[in-house]
Structure 1
Amino acid sequence: MKFSELKLNDNVLEALDAMRFDECTPIQEQAIPIILEGRDLIAVAQTGTGKTAAYLLPILNKLSEGGHQEDAINCIIMSPTRELAQQIDQQMEGFSYFMPASSVAVYGGNDGGLFEQQKRGLMLGADVVIATPGRLLSHLSLGYVDLSKVSYFILDEADRMLDMGFSDDIMQIVKYLPKERQTIMFSATMPTKIQQLAKTILHNPAEVKLAVSKPAEKIVQAAYICYENQKLGIVRSLCAEEMPERVIIFASSKIKVKEVAKALKMMKLNVGEMHSDLEQSQREFIMHEFKSGRINILVATDIVSRGIDIDDIRSVINFDVPNDSEDYVHRIGRTARANNDGVAITFVSEKEQTNFKNIENFLEKDIYKIPVPAELGDVPEYNPRTNGGGKGRNFRGGGNRKGRFKGKR
């Protein structure tokens, strides 16, 4: 379906034409008419499906038609991370180019000037406020933010916000909002806690659910079946054999990110780390260095598995198996974009075998298992049916270990 077939006004269509947006994605085709009707909505869609435009376009359409109080905050968009808030703000700037709609992005950081800038935007009443929960609450607690005129409340990546512990913050923010509002929730997954949140803050919502798409066929997927204490050795082996080019290594915790980054820095590799302990200015600097190619390995928590727009990631390494299939798809979806090829490698310890088998079942394929370098010793058998596979016989690694970053099968 073309955007011109939707009931969007001329200002919005003009902006879309200028940005060369013509065809709707499936989530846009289904969500935009519902939001234009004024109904609450819960939508399940992955990152990369065009979900940001699916809520920004109809909201801008409504704002441009008038009837909203001037100098008031009319829309709140909640984001789990600063990086996603910045990206939403950038898209907002593009879509609102031909409309008098104002926006301010509100997120944490040590820059006092940034806080003052956000304070001014909030006090003047930006039409759209794009915010991380903690920073918005900081401003609210100081008493100068009026959310009583908010007509639209949007939660983007709601599941990620709950995973990051923002549930109480969200409920605190809801208390500042009027009961009469339109609430829109986007989530990549629909666990029980998301269903409970939806029942609490949405009113008779419409539901749109897109099936989680499988990873692109051009992503070469492989795995190492190993012991937990062998993972660092495998990373060192991979990087020693062939200088990696534009790689993201995902780890499950900040501690592991720091450990892996330290080991690679000792190998004199250009490594950056990304996790929630970093200040905003540090995170922006690391991401800029990675995008520009001055850093070619980024070790990160799931903070960058969604919403980071870099087209030429050559390889993704899952230092730990993601918790579910959707997270796996999000992580490896960072590679093989914009018609490039890509490689996705996962390290699977004994305890992670059942999770990894669930991912294989979701993908409806067996992922190729690369032999672990022989010098790292015995490895567990891949036998996820026996409590994670730890009781199977051991066998020695080895075999051809060349060309891994090129996705050699």
Structure 2
Amino acid sequence: MTFEDFNFNEHLAEGLNSMGYTTPTPIQAMAIPVVMQGKDLIACAQTGTGKTASYLLPVLNKIGEGDKRHINTLILAPTRELAQQIDQQVEGLAYFTGISSVAVFGGGDGIVYEQQRRAIQNNVDIVIATPGRLIAHLTSGVLKFDNLQHLVLDEADRMLDMGFMDDIIRIIRYLPAERQTLLFSATMPPRIRQLANSILRNPESINIAISQPAAGISQQMYRVHDHQKIPLIKHLLKEGNYLSTIIFSSTKEKVKDVYKELKSAHLKVKAFSSDFKQTEREEILLEFKNKKLPIIIGTDALSRGIDVEGIDLVINYDAPPDPEDYIHRIGRTARAATTGTAITLINHRDEQKLKRIEQMIGKPVPQMELPAEIGESPAPAPERTHSHNRPHGDGKSRSGANNNRNKKKKWPRKKPSGDKKPNGAGDNSSTPPVVE
């Protein structure tokens, strides 16, 4: 299948061709026909699979077929970073169509609010918004959705995790009852099903590989004592041939600590925090996206708020409390059919978290051997060994499981400089671009 099979209008097709996109991803191939038929949709797909274009392309095609211009589509997103990324994708895909959009989010000064207000009054076609700031425009009376045809909830699970359920319901009260509603989520907990049942009408359902990392990710794990974490990270960054790295930690305090340690080691690194001003965060992300900043450190908020191709290493300073967050963290690498490495550091306190991660992905994360200068790894906790060596019920060992599990892989040697190529570089056998 190619994008030509969807028979998009000529201006939208021209935009796709100019960007070099030819083949849809699985979520795009399944979702686009449903959206073009005007049906409500609930779709579950992990990050990096192209879900944004799976709703943008058919919506842009529908808008392009109309004569009158008004606010046609509302897209709700959990963070300002995601809202801006969607806005940028609309700009690229709709370049030849004349379709306009505006990203509406909080955190800026009065000038930003006024710019958003003017764009809304000029009848843009698509509004991409975070719930809080959108409500501010709605209550001011500036924003009207009388002619709205499409409502999209992107990363709905994240919005609910951030406490936006009441805001979403409040926003929907301002919308026409006759509309097409599309809900996209990386996970499908009961709360999402409940929300879908309350706002969608006879929706089609698409489920693409829930809670499974991309095949191109090399998952690795090191067992460490706490005092070994920073020396190991320094070693990995200095000895490995990595061009673009994200380090995740579960708390802002640890983010600051890791940043100070790596900065003192003369590594080019910056911390990313919600405590920073919006302009600071945008500047850091732009540097990272343009490959001027090789290392960035942040919390799980960054795992949902960054859409950058070419990230070849993700390091989990600590295991996330929710295994779903592990999927989102490591999903920052190996995007768009590329490859990457994800390394998780496990101490005794994180053993149970690792066990839940392995249960979710359906296989053990390979343990690597610490470099000699870092020291010896701590022994695995007894509960972890038992859980992998014995099945439920009879207490007998699985044949060969113990031997295979305890064999450690050697720490990889430094890769030759020719192994890594900037995103998009390569020979004629390289994978064709994927529209996200």
Alignment TM class, shorter chain as reference:
0.7 to 0.9
1:330 aligned partner: 328
The answer to whether the 8 A contact 1:212-1:326 is kept is no
Secondary structure in 1 aligned to 2:297? Answer: strand
Please give the per-residue CA displacement for 1:381-405, whole angstroms capped at 9, x wherever unaligned: 244458999xxxxxxxxx9878589
CA contact (8 A) 1:272 1:286 kept: yes
The residue number in structure 1 matching 2:92 is 94
In the alignment, what sits opposite 1:167?
165
- Aligned equivalent of 1:153: 151
Q: Deviations over 1:85-114 (max 9, x none)?
A: 122112211222232322111123334332
Superposed displacement of residue 314, structure 1: 3.1
Map of 1:73 onto structure 2: 71
Quote the offset at 1:271 in angstroms.
Answer: 1.8
The equivalent residue for 1:38 is 38
Q: What's the counterpart of residue 267 of structure 1?
A: 265
1:357–1:374 CA distance, 2 compared to 1 (3 A): farther
Partners in 2 of 1:241 and 1:93 — Cα distance? 40
Partner of 1:22: 22
Q: Aligned partners of 2:257, 2:198: CA distance in 1, in Å? A: 40
Q: Is the 8 A contact 2:48 2:336 kept in 1?
A: no
Encode CA deviations 1:11-34: one digit per residue, 9 max, x unaligned.
333332333322222111211121
How far residue 360 of structure 1 moved from its aligned partner, in angstroms, is 2.6
Q: CA deviation at 1:187?
A: 0.4
Report if aligned partners of 1:7, 1:33 keep a CA contact under 8 Å in 2: no
Q: What is the CA-CA distance between 1:142 and the residue it aligns to?
A: 2.3
- The question of 1:129 aligning with 2:127 is answered yes
The Cα shift of 1:268 comes to 3.4
In structure 2, how many angstroms separate the alpha carbons of the residues matched to 1:240 and 1:3? 42
Task: Tell me what 2:8 maps to.
Answer: 8
Q: Distance in 2 between matches of 1:94 and 1:236?
A: 38
Tell me, yes or no, if the aligned pair for 1:354 and 1:387 is still in contact at 8 Å. Answer: no
2:204 to 203, 206, 209: 206
Equivalent position of 2:186 in the other structure: 188
Over 3 Å counting, the alpha-carbon distance change for 1:73 and 1:400 in structure 2 is closer
Decide whether the 8 Å contact of 1:88 with 1:130 is kept in 2: yes
Write the letter of the residue equivalent to 2:164. Answer: F
Cα distance, 1:154 vs. partner?
0.3
| Cα deviation digits, residues 130-162 of structure 1 (max 9, x gap) | 111222122223221112322111011111111
* 1:116 match: secondary structure: helix
Moved more, 9-18 or 184-193: 9-18
Q: Give the number of equivalent residue pairs.
A: 396
Q: Secondary structure at the match of 1:368?
A: coil
Most deviating of 254-263 and 379-388: 379-388
**Structure 1: 5+ residue runs without aligned partners?**
390-398
C-alpha distance in 2 between matches for 1:126 and 1:154: 16
- 1:356 aligns with 354
Q: 1:310 aligns with which of 308, 311, 318?
A: 308
Separation (CA, whole Å) in 1 of partners of 2:13 and 2:280: 38
Kindly indicate whether the alpha-carbon contact (under 8 Å) linking 1:12 and 1:96 is maintained by their aligned counterparts in 2: yes
Which amino acid is 2:311 matched to? I
Residue 379 of structure 1 corresponds to 378
Stretch of structure 1 that moved more, 244-253 or 331-340 = 331-340
Q: Name whichever of 172-181 and 301-310 sits farther off.
A: 301-310
Q: CA offset at residue 59 of structure 1? A: 1.0
The letter for the 2-side match of 1:381 is: P
Provide closer, same or farther for how the CA distance between residues 115 and 29 of structure 1 changes in structure 2, counting only shifts above 3 A.
same
Q: Any idea what SS the aligned residue of 2:167 has?
A: helix
How far apart, CA to CA, are the structure 1 residues paired with 2:368 and 2:232? Answer: 11
Distance in 1 between residues matched to 2:373 and 2:358, nearest whole Å: 26
User: Residues of 2 paired with 1:401 and 1:303: CA distance?
Assistant: 30
The alpha carbon displacement at 1:316 in A equals 1.0
CA distance in 2 between counterparts of 1:302 and 1:78 reads 20
* Structure with more contact order per residue of length (Cα contacts < 8 Å, sep ≥ 6): 2
Cα separation, 1, equivalents of 2:292 and 2:209: 37
CA distance in 2, matches of 1:404, 1:332: 21
Indicate whether 1:48 and 2:48 are aligned: yes
In 2: Cα distance, 1:405 partner to 1:113 partner: 48
CA positional deviation for 1:232:
4.3
Counterpart contact for 1:28–1:54, Cα < 8 Å: yes
Partner of 2:422: none
Q: Percent identity?
A: 48
Corresponding residue SS for 1:77: strand
Kept in 2, the 8 Å contact 1:351–1:388? The answer is no
Offset at 1:348? 1.9
Rounded to whole Å, the distance in 2 between the matches of 1:346 and 1:34 is 38
Q: Report the Cα distance in structure 1 between the residues aligned to 2:217 and 2:209, rounded to whole angstroms.
A: 19
C-alpha distance in 1, partners of 2:136/2:14? 37
Match of 2:425 in 1: none
Deviates more, 1:152-161 or 1:294-303: 294-303
Q: Secondary structure at the match of 1:98?
A: coil
How far did residue 299 of structure 1 move? 0.5
- The TM-score, its normalising length taken from structure 2, stands at 0.80
Residues 232-259 of structure 1 show CA distances to partners (whole Å, capped at 9, x for unaligned) of 4543554576796532101123232223
Residue in 2 aligned with 1:246? 244
